[in-house]
Amino acid sequence: LFLKAIITRRMAQITKKQIGIVLSKLYPSLSEAFTTITQGDKRLVFASFERWVRSNHVLSGFMINEDMLKTIFASLDQHKKGYLQ
């Protein structure tokens, strides 16, 4: 269980870097990326994040399941609100 937590945390770190790389290649600004990913909403919820990741093949090469993707999203949501703003 402890090893699984370490691996999951490390995977979240690596995938966040990959997400950053893709964001910087696809969008001229973080603001534009946020608007596009949320489809104009003021909050980024998991469903929008998952849709964007899958439709843009952001984490291709990683064997990511939904639980792992939720862990990655949760690591981005530092205040644990369930959404990003």
* pLDDT tens for each residue of 32-43: 999 999 999 999
* pLDDT tens for each residue of 10-65: 888 889 899 999 999 999 999 999 999 999 999 999 999 999 999 999 999 888 88
- 49 CB-contact burial (10 Å; exposed 0-12 / middle 13-18 / buried 19+): buried
pLDDT at 62: 86
Q: What DSSP character marks residue 61?
A: T
Residue pair 73/15 in contact (Cβ under 8 Å)? The answer is no
Residue pair 43/83 in contact (Cβ under 8 Å)? The answer is yes
